[in-house]
Amino acid sequence: MKGKLLLSLIAACVSSYFAIAQQTSAVTYGLGNTKNVTVTASSNAAAGIRTLAGSGFLPNFNATSRFLSQATLGHNLAHIQQVAGVGVEKWLDDQMAMPNSFSINNYLRGVHRYMIDSLRARNPGNTYDSTNVFAGNVHFDLSWFQGAMSAPDLLRWRVAWALSEVFVASRISAFDENPYALASYYDLLLNHSFSNYRTLLQEVTYHPAMGVYLTYMNNRATDTTTTKKVFPDENYAREVMQLFSIGLYELNLDGTEKRDANNKPIPTYNNNDIAGLAKAFTGLSWGDSRYLGDREKNNWSYTRRMKFFPIDSSDAKIRWWVSNPRIVDGHDRGTKTFLGQTLPTRPVLQGEQDIQDGISVLFNHPNVGPFIVRRLIQRLVTSNPSPAYIARAASVFNNNGSGTRGDLKAVIRAILLDPEARNCCADKEDASAGALREPMLRYMNILKALPLNSQGGVYRNVMVTLYNRIGQRALNSPSVFNYFQPDYQPNGPVKAAGKVAPEFQILNSQSLASYINGLNQWIVNDDPVEFWTLFTGEKPKPDQDPGFVLTGDYPLARNNRLPELLDKYNLLFAGGKLTDGTLQIIQNAIAQMPYSEDSSGVPNADDANRRIRIAIVLILSSPDYLINR
């Protein structure tokens, strides 16, 4: 019976999202419907419409949980109570005022140092250092997980995750199992989650992980004077425009595509623009290089900002000025024309200004506001933001109210506080509201929500099996286009209605069944993390291999208290969005499970524990949870 119940809930998930609301003759006022309605109020006329929109009510736990599902990687009941008490605006201000509290790179170095020191202590006659004690990607993963679980700046970690899916750099096919490439790049995203978009774009451009991933590390100037012609690598120039800044087509402020006289979208750039911009991104090499083309790099090279080399002396090393009368340029000389702009001819030694100017041209392009905010809205709130929603957030990107363009702090605040984001009744208006929760967010929801018995605040999780199960982990996208594309349209009603559902690109029968099996492992079998020892012979630390402590809920496992149990986890995981029908199905299933008490009314621990865990699994399998509206 349990298997049939799970299958019916899973099937409902897909049909729930794909169902497009039918038009009826009824007109509803309230429930967020304010079309063609004006509200005046004696106390504050400007705020009167908020009550009808559903955003003007006092904070409540359901609305707070829904907000936190958009603004964090996961939350617990204490977070809900705290934010409901201070209000979402105050919580956002407090979170954005926090400095970055956790460096993945520093934690990774500490893990690496612990491994070296431990091996030295065990084998005092041997020499151990970073060259012969291997740190790999699993050490990045456990360092990332430690920060995700322990850092108090919850909003920063949620935004950094979103940015990692826009400014994609992936370990797949790059970095040669160097965890410092991943750690230092993710630290960049954390550090600049609330900075300025131009600063973020600049730091991404100068990061060696991006230089290697998109192959412009050691990018040389055009040289057609020799038999073997040399042209700048165009990979980054193409992707920085297509994916990180302006997109493929010219946009209106509201994100809709501009059209030419033949009603065709207008391309933002062509091959000539790519070639022109690629010339600007020449002459960059490792931060600890001796010359352009230097390739013998160690772990720490990925933690240093790339360095500009105007002259290419790699062939003759540093003796080119003695042995080679022909100067070879590392950075492209002459003008560089792209996106309707022409950078002036400069002495090659001043060529780094071309990089800065290229970034500024991208930053000031009118597409950037609507392009970037749509992607952030999709990653934080909803797959199909309305044009009005995009326009409001893009206006804040263009001007934060104080004349500053690209203020990410103001943009994130505008996205999360927008009426379309805060409308608790969005699903009543639009069947395509919200988004399918990403697998990694579902996993983190669980581990952040349920109490773990880890001692000392250490959470060791290498996430190898997790990735094989759910297909996601930090900086492990299969391509520069992310795990899923922002305009993905599954066949059926979504595509017919002109809507998109990005996360459905990685949803199939196998991945969904694997997620359900994961719930069984994580919750029913109480095995939520993948604990590995860090080196051969390390003494196991059972207190770092935690499980969930649910004993406090045992009294709620009694039949007459099952509604309380389901209400608690409906609030915690789904923001109170589980329908009465879903709740009744789950309650009926749980009520049929064995349950007994002793003569004092104390629940049998095994019965209560099993009921609670299965109830959580069913909630996390339900369409009402999987589609976050």
Name which of 533, 522, 529 is nearest 616 in CA terms.
522
Q: Which residue has the tokens 């009941």?
A: 77
SS3 at position 597: strand
pLDDT at 457 over 70: yes
| Each residue's pLDDT tens digit, 364-391 | 999 999 999 999 999 999 999 999 999 9
Q: How far apart are CA 265 and CA 251, in angstroms?
A: 9
pLDDT at 379: 98
CB proximity list for 328: less than 8 A, separation 6 or greater: 221, 223, 311, 312, 313, 315, 320
Can you give the length of the chain in residues? 629
Residue with more model confidence, 56 or 211? 211
pLDDT at 24: 38
pLDDT at 88 over 60: yes
pLDDT at 23: 36
Q: How far apart are CA 304 and CA 323, in angstroms?
A: 31
Q: Which amino acid type is present at position 337?
A: T
| Percent over 70 (pLDDT), the chain | 87
Which pLDDT band, with edges at 50, 70 and 90, does 55 fall under? low
Q: How far apart are CA 433 and CA 66, in angstroms?
A: 13
- Most confident among 87-101, 116-130, 318-332 (mean pLDDT): 87-101
Rounded to two decimals, what is the model's pTM? 0.90
Q: Are strands 307-308 and 336-338 parallel, antiparallel or unpaired?
A: unpaired
Mean pLDDT of the chain: 89
Do the beta carbons of residue 408 and residue 196 sit within 8 Å? yes
Do the beta carbons of residue 449 and residue 431 sit within 8 Å? no
For residue 525, what is the DSSP state? S
Do the beta carbons of residue 44 and residue 419 sit within 8 Å? no
Q: How far apart are CA 620 and CA 608, in angstroms?
A: 19
Q: Can you give 156-192 as a three-state secondary structure string?
A: HHHHHHHHHCCCCCCCCCCHHHCHHHHHHHHHHHHHC
The stretch 158-171 carries a mean pLDDT of 98
Name which of 300, 500, 477, 484 is nearest 382 in CA terms.
500
Do the beta carbons of residue 92 and residue 408 sit within 8 Å? no
Q: Which amino acid type is present at position 59?
A: P
| Each residue's pLDDT tens digit, 537-596 | 888 777 777 899 999 999 999 999 999 999 999 999 999 999 999 999 999 999 999 999
Which pLDDT band, with edges at 50, 70 and 90, does 318 fall under? very low
The stretch 184-195 carries a mean pLDDT of 98
SS3 at position 627: strand
Neighbouring CB atoms inside 10 A of 22's CB total 6
Q: How far apart are CA 454 and CA 541, in angstroms?
A: 10
List, in sequence order, every residue forming a beta bridge with 627; answer none if it has no partner: 436
pLDDT at 325 over 80: no
Hey, which bits of 377-438 come out as E strands?
435-436
For residue 336, what is the DSSP state? E
pLDDT at 30: 52
For residue 299, what is the DSSP state? G
pLDDT at 22 over 80: no
SS3 at position 347: coil
First-to-last alpha carbon distance for the chain, in angstroms, is: 29
Do the beta carbons of residue 214 and residue 236 sit within 8 Å? yes
Q: How far apart are CA 63 and CA 422, in angstroms?
A: 8
The stretch 294-304 carries a mean pLDDT of 84
| Each residue's pLDDT tens digit, 207-260 | 999 999 999 999 999 888 777 788 999 999 999 999 999 999 999 999 999 999
Give whole-number Cα distances, 429 to 27, 30, 425, 532, in Å.
Answer: 11, 10, 7, 47
Do the beta carbons of residue 250 and residue 360 sit within 8 Å? no
pLDDT at 270 over 50: yes
CB proximity list for 232: less than 8 A, separation 6 or greater: 216, 219, 220, 221, 222, 275, 278, 279, 281, 282, 332
Q: How far apart are CA 8 and CA 13, in angstroms?
A: 9
Q: Which range among 9-18, 134-143, 185-194, 503-512 shows the weakest confidence by mean pLDDT?
A: 9-18
Q: Which range among 46-50, 253-257, 399-403 shows the weakest confidence by mean pLDDT?
A: 46-50
Residue with more model confidence, 456 or 14? 456
The stretch 612-628 carries a mean pLDDT of 97
pLDDT at 184: 98
Name which of 275, 282, 162, 285 is nearest 212 in CA terms.
285
The stretch 27-44 carries a mean pLDDT of 58
CB proximity list for 400: less than 8 A, separation 6 or greater: 407, 410, 411
